[in-house]
Amino acid sequence: MGNRRGRGGFLAPMYVFAIIWLFSAICFPLYEVWGILLTLGLCAAGAFIAGKASAKRAMKKEREAAEAAAAKAAEEARKHPKKKSYGPEIDPILEEGNKALSEMGRLYMSIKDPEVRSKINEIMRITDKITQDAIDDPKDIPQIKKFMNYYLPTTLKLLNAYDRMSSLGIEGENLDKSMKNINEMLDAAIEAYKKRLDSLFANQALDIETDIEVMNTMLAREGLSADNEFDLSAQAKKIEREQQMQGQVQQAQGQVRQMPQ
């Protein structure tokens, strides 16, 4: 593009120079000195103006091309946003979880039984929470991997089997029995998924209990626990005891002064 603009920027002034020279040859006596000087001046001025205009047009075209390229790049970025990376251990879990959720969404749309669809929706909800826990607490990754490598693929396999059998549109003893077993299995799967999700919060629950114990110890050490300054009844009793002690001391002092010398 730079070479093309260079050639265009050079040729345009030359063309203008030549055209003005031809018209000047017709209008002015080039055999006279003043005619030659006038023609050269007009040609130079025309070539200068043509060069400026040509350069301006070329810059405008380049700017428009750059803006078009930037707009295209922005559109591509919008259509294909760059995924945030959470690390080599977490990224595969998130990718596998998203694939499983996408497949469950397809099965949800394909299966017509409202009861089964409701169970699929619940499984999707719990699966998403388990997958996201890899980001919140990387220490749970081994448990999440076990869930992703066995429980989730097995559930998807059975759901796909249910989808295939229900799409046949026929009734049969074996088909009905298999579909009923899968439907019942989904209840057990939901309970297992919930227990797995609850177990992932065991570490967080332990951390919370530890933090509470440390806070209580610090408050007690500083005299700021609920049993001390923040307990109004305890404060009142403390003041009452101090007043009683002061009264007893004053009474003893009075008795001493009344004793005969």
- In eight-state DSSP terms, residue 149 is I
pLDDT value of position 187: 94
pLDDT value of position 108: 92
Contact indicator for 200, 137 with CB cutoff of 8 Å? yes
3-state DSSP of the chain: CHHHHHHHHHHHHHHHHHHHHHHHHHHCCCCCHHHHHHHHHHHHHHHHHHHHHHHHHHHHHHHHHHHHHHHHHHHHHHHCCCCCCCCCCHHHHHHHHHHHHHHHHHHHHHCCCHHHHHHHHHHHHHHHHHHHHHHHCHHHHHHHHHHHHHHHHHHHHHHHHHHHHHHCCCCCHHHHHHHHHHHHHHHHHHHHHHHHHHHHCHHHHHHHHHHHHHHHHHHHHCCCCCCCCCCHHHHHHHHHHHHHHHHHHHHHHHHHHHCCC
Lookup: tokens for 8:
């265009």
Whole-angstrom distance, CA of residue 190 vs CA of residue 175? 23
pLDDT value of position 2: 45
Identify the segments of the chain with pLDDT beneath 50: 1-8, 228-232, 256, 259, 261
Integer angstrom CA distances of residue 252 from 135, 238, 240, 248, 255: 71, 21, 18, 6, 5
Whole-angstrom distance, CA of residue 190 vs CA of residue 200? 15
Q: Specify whether the backbone of 87 is left (phi greater than 0), alpha (psi in -120 to 50) or beta.
A: left
pLDDT value of position 1: 45
Query: pLDDT tens digits for 60-78?
Result: 887 787 777 777 777 766 6
pLDDT value of position 6: 47
